[in-house]
């Protein structure tokens, strides 16, 4: 978190101490430099309890995002989104089922800043979260237009509910992302030929302002497709094609994929229908 300054760390730690009484052993808050070193040591070396780390980060980030210099915020909205994206990607890489609320896109849309009523929070990704996102996609799939591209997603969700936690779920999610972007670019419009791949179609959608006013969403959509592709390649081959995968990871990718499918389709409908 290069944009988070030493004074943010000092104040965030003090607030956590005041509100929770939790004292990090060996944390030296006497200067900005020592506070930064203590933060690094606490997160990377000392703590095995993810809940304490998340609680600490919440306090520091809320202080950092609400702090102002003489003329403007210490951290811009764009820098705030970059921080959140990096945290979420770290969560994903480590298999931590936590999402940041408000999301990076909400920060840009609403020009959001922390308040007593709405601080930045880390929330566990749960089955209920998946169900809510899934319902949005299922509603979109009711019409003939989106039924075919969303069919693999629906199959993946059914497999998850049936307890089939294998890489076949990832394949279905990948297929839905590919078919949905291809539907928009090559079927509903003449923006590109069929069979050009998700990466090319996402680039076209970006150029067609589908991701406005949230251009960072294009990067996030690319990230999830890359993550699915890497996982499939790592577990690929006929012998391992349908290898078992962790159920929590299934929840995570289902949540992400449903959110992006819903976002892309709704933004297309808003801009072009």
Paired with 73 in beta bridges are 68
Q: Please state which CATH number belongs to domain 127-272.
A: 1.20.120
Predicted local distance difference test score (pLDDT) of residue 129: 60
Q: How far apart are CA 103 and CA 113, in angstroms?
A: 12
Q: pLDDT value at position 237? A: 47
**pLDDT score recorded for residue 238:** 43
- Which of 175, 172, 225, 187 has the alpha carbon at shortest distance from 203? 225
For the chain, what is the radius of gyration of the CA atoms? 21
C-beta separation of 204 from 191 below 8 A: yes
Q: For residues 232-255, b (16+ Cβ closer than 10 Å) or e, as one string?
A: eeebeeeeeeeeebeeebbbbbbb
Distance CA 161, CA 156 (A): 9
The pLDDT, as a whole number, for residue 116 is: 66
Averaged over successive runs of 10 residues, the pLDDT of the chain (273 residues) comes to 80 87 88 89 78 87 82 77 82 71 80 80 69 75 86 88 83 90 94 90 87 63 65 51 73 81 86 86
Q: Note the pLDDT of residue 176.
A: 92
pLDDT score for 82? 84
What ranges do the domains of the chain cover?
A: 6-124, 127-272
């Amino acid at each position: 978190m290069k944009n988070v300054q030493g004074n943010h760390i000092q104040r965030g730690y003090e607030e956590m101490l005041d509100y929770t009484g939790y004292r990090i052993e060996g944390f030296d808050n006497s200067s900005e430099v020592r506070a930064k070193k203590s933060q690094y040591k606490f997160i990377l070396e000392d703590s095995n309890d993810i809940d304490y780390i998340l609680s600490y980060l919440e306090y520091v980030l809320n202080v950092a995002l609400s702090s102002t210099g003489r003329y403007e915020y210490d951290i811009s909205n764009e820098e705030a989104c970059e921080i959140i994206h990096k945290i979420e990607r770290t969560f994903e890489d480590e298999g931590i089922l936590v999402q940041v609320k408000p999301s990076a896109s909400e920060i840009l849309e609403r020009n959001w800043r922390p308040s007593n009523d709405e601080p930045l929070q880390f929330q566990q990704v749960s089955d209920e979260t998946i169900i809510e996102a899934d319902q949005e996609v299922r509603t979109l799939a009711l019409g003939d237009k989106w039924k075919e591209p969303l069919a693999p997603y629906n199959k993946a969700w059914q497999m998850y509910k049936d307890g089939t936690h294998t890489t076949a779920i990832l394949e279905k999610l990948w297929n839905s992302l590919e078919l949905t972007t291809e539907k928009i670019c090559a079927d509903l419009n003449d923006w590109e030929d069929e069979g050009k791949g998700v990466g090319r179609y996402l680039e076209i959608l970006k150029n067609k302002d589908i991701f406005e006013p949230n251009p960072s969403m294009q990067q996030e959509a690319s990230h999830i497709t890359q993550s699915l592709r890497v996982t499939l390649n790592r577990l690929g081959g006929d012998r391992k094609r349908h290898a078992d995968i962790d159920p929590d990871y299934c929840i995570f990718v289902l949540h992400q994929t449903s959110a992006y499918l819903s976002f892309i389709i709704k933004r297309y409908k808003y801009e072009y229908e």
